[in-house]
Amino acid sequence: MEEIIEQLREANTQVAWGLELPTHEMTVEAEEQILLPLPRDYREFLLTVSDVLVGSLEPAVVADPSAHNYLPEVCATAWDVGVPRHLLVFCQAGDSYYCLDPEGEVQLWRDGAMTDETWETIWYWARDVWLES
């Protein structure tokens, strides 16, 4: 995990407006809004690298409720188009969604169905998908 955090920080695109890391309270507020618990690894992800801009993907944030990729809004949009409600949707890529199951495994939902593409943790997803986007 530490190595992946370091790689993300090194690849971070600096922009004038910047993103902020959330507080623990902001993660709890997001949980309350989506009515799902945040898996432990995902909470750590939000608290350590959700201020990073890398490549073309924009994982959801919880520090800015007005952001276009605010976690509760990303989840609501995905659930409205058919992503199963028990999945936490943390990143939209066109018409596809990267989701976390209750155990913290990342799954890809595309074309109205779950695919066979999975990653054991969000950290492996960050290394294999986000850093390569």
Q: State pLDDT tens for residues 67-113.
A: 999 999 999 999 999 999 999 999 999 999 999 999 999 999 999 99
Report the sign of the C-alpha dihedral through residues 91, 93, 95, 98, in that order: negative
pLDDT at 92: 97
Whether the pLDDT of residue 18 is over 90: the answer is no
Count of structural domains, the chain? 1
Three-state DSSP class for residue 115: strand
| Whole-angstrom distance, CA of residue 50 vs CA of residue 80 | 24
Q: What is the CATH number of the domain that holds 10?
A: 3.40.1580.10
Whether the pLDDT of residue 15 is over 90: the answer is no
The first and second tokens of residue 37, run together, are 């618990």
pLDDT at 13: 83
| Whole-angstrom distance, CA of residue 3 vs CA of residue 24 | 23
Query: Tell me, what amino acid is at 26?
Result: M
Q: Which domain holds residue 32?
A: 2-130
pLDDT at 19: 83
* 8 A C-beta contact, residue 49 and residue 8: yes
Q: How confident is the prediction for the chain on average, in pLDDT?
A: 95
